[in-house]
Amino acid sequence: MTAATQATTSTAAAAPPAVTIRDLTIVYRTPAGELPAVSGVDLDLPPGTITGLVGESGSGKSTLALSLLGAVQRPGRIAAGSIHVDGLGNLVELSAKSLQEARGGEIGYVFQAAQNSLNPLKTVGKQLLDLGRSHGVRDRTALVRSAKELLAGMGLDAARVLDSYQHELSGGMRQRVGIMFALVLNAHVLVLDEPTTALDMISQANVLKIVRAVHTERGLTTLLVTHDIGVVAEVAERIAVMYGGVVVEQGETADVLRAPKHPYARALINAIPRVSGDLSAARPLPGRPPTLGTIPTRGCVFRERCAVYAERQLPACVAEQPPLAPVADGSGRLVACHAVAVEDQQATGETA
């Protein structure tokens, strides 16, 4: 089904666009030379789906999300790869001017901690007009009208919000204002960076419900970046798990949560305390997440903390980073692990 929609999206403007990231490498210049924050990442955002990108600090998830805006800042740069968005082409090759139009236009971005991304000196309405001006919107009345529609749709008193300064709004309201800014120019790709981090449980549940609703209503392709697997579990159909600059596992959210295959994904899911069931099932993950300078340059990025490597010591784990490859069970799951690949080979060998 996905393949069929993919083929038609480039022509039909109404259908949600597909986003295809291939072999993307983003490096940061440091005193120790250029170090990759994202290395050789392949990621598909199927049209009309919400994909959750999960990772810890330093995993490269926010850098990857920023690259969708063409907004990787110096000292970072995209060293290789492509980001293809239907209707826009390869973002890596776009001119500065077309990129600027795409940002906030076709691609909407909701920043982490919306309170820091709103201007404290201007009302929301003024900032809306600024946005319109910077994108050459002629019809201001229509702009305000669609902003009001969006705000009202998210359960806010639109007129009041447009007249408010950011400090007059609660955290959950600011986050909804952020979503309005991302979508008011009719974006079809929505990127949300940690949209609920500063919120309490009830506000988080409200914001997630709204994300889900606008996503469906407006036919979006959505990427949700977070460290919180619960958030992904609640709203995303697909999940991609990042570690040390690479995607280590990708698949349907419920499948991955039920039976994670990559040792990191498994350990991460096991490290979450639950509100019911056996408490002792939660297990901490030894070691610490790597930073830009400490990501292993050779071999698997997760090797040092990996329980499977500790037990089996596969030479391949030391030699090279395993590629993100489909697993043999035909579920469409992608996993980057030598041990999983070996098991798959053995399993298929036995059945053959």
Partner 1 sequence: MIHKKRSLDGATRESLDRATNGTGTDGTGTDGTGTDGTGTAGAIEARGIVKSFKARGDVLAGRTVRALRGVDFRIPPGGAASFIGESGCGKTTLGRILAGVESFDSGELVLGGVPLAGLAPRKRAPHFRRVQLIHQDPYSALNPTRTVESILRDPLALRAKQTGQSRAWIDGRAREVLDLVGLDPGYVLPRFPHQLSGGMRQRVVIARALTVDPAALVADEAVSMIDVSLRLGVLNLLRELRSTLGVSVLFITHDVATARYIGADGELYVIYRGEIVEHGPTETVLADPVHPYTQCLLSAIPVLHGVEQPGADRLAPTEPLDESQPEDGCLFAARCPFATDRCRTEHPELGHLGGTAHEHACFYPQRRSVVATPLADT
Q: Does 279 bind partner 1 (CB under 8 A)?
A: yes
At 141, phi and psi to the nearest 5? Answer: -60, -40
| 193 vs 234 by CB, closer to partner 1 | 234
By beta-carbon proximity to partner 1, the closer residue of 205 and 325 is 205
Contacting residue, 6, 22, 56, 122, with partner 1 by CB under 8 A: 56
Contacts of 110 (CB under 8 A, 6+ apart): 175, 178, 179, 181, 182, 190, 191, 192, 193, 195
Strand ranges of the sheet holding 107-110, from the earlier edge strand across to the other edge = 107-110, 189-193, 221-226, 50-54, 238-243, 246-252, 334-335, 325-326
CB 309 within 8 A of CB 319: no
- CA pair distance 192, 211, nearest whole angstrom: 9
Instruction: Tell me whether strands 76-85 and 89-90 are parallel, antiparallel or unpaired.
Output: antiparallel
What is the closest distance, in whole angstroms, from the C-beta atom of residue 306 to partner 1 in the complex? 12
Among 256, 265, 295, 327, binds partner 1 (CB under 8 A): 256
Torsion of CA 54, 249, 221, 219, to 10 degrees: -100
Determine, following the binding rule CB under 8 A, whether residue 230 of this chain makes contact with partner 1. Answer: yes
Q: Where are the beta strands (DSSP E) in the chain?
A: 19-30, 33-45, 50-54, 76-85, 89-90, 107-110, 189-193, 221-226, 238-243, 246-252, 325-326, 334-335
**Quick one: 101 or 228, whose CB is closer to partner 1?**
228
Residue 310 engages partner 1 in binding (rule: CB under 8 A): no
41 sits near partner 1 (criterion: CB under 8 A): no
DSSP letters of 270-338?
HTS--SSS-GGG--PPPS----TTTS-SSS-TTGGG-HHHHHH--HHHHH-PPP-EE-TTSS--EE--H
Output 36 or 172, the one with its CB closest to partner 1: 172
Among 224, 253, 340, 344, binds partner 1 (CB under 8 A): 253
SS3 content of the chain, % helix, strand, coil (to 5): 40, 20, 40
Binding of partner 1 at residue 304 (CB under 8 A)?
Answer: no
Q: How far is the CB of 231 from partner 1 (least distance, A)?
A: 6
Give the Cα separation of 119 and 93 in Å (integer).
Answer: 31
Least Å distance between CB 347 and partner 1? 20
Whether 244 and 60 have beta carbons less than 8 Å apart is answered as yes
| Nearer to partner 1 (CB atom), residue 68 or residue 308 | 308
Distinct helix (H) and strand (E) counts, the chain: 15, 12
Among 8, 10, 30, 57, binds partner 1 (CB under 8 A): 57
Choice between 48 and 171, CB closer to partner 1: 171
Q: Which of 79, 92, 113, 257 binds partner 1 (CB under 8 A)?
A: 257
CA distance 68 to 63: 9
The minimum distance between CB 183 and partner 1, in angstroms, equals 21
230 or 323: CB nearest partner 1: 230
Q: Should residue 234 be labelled a site residue for partner 1 when binding is judged by CB under 8 A?
A: yes
Which residues within the stretch 170-229 sit at the binding site for partner 1 (CB under 8 A)? 170-172, 199-206, 208, 227-229
Please select the residue that binds partner 1; options are 29, 160, 274, 312, rule is CB under 8 A.
274
Indicate whether 14 belongs to the interface with partner 1 (CB under 8 A). Answer: no
Nearer to partner 1, 106 or 237 (CB): 237
Q: Is 166 in the site for partner 1 (CB under 8 A)?
A: no
Whichever of 15 and 300 has its CB closer to partner 1, that residue is: 300
Binding site for partner 1 (CB under 8 A): 56-57, 170-172, 199-206, 208, 227-231, 233-234, 253-258, 267-269, 271-279, 282-285, 288-289
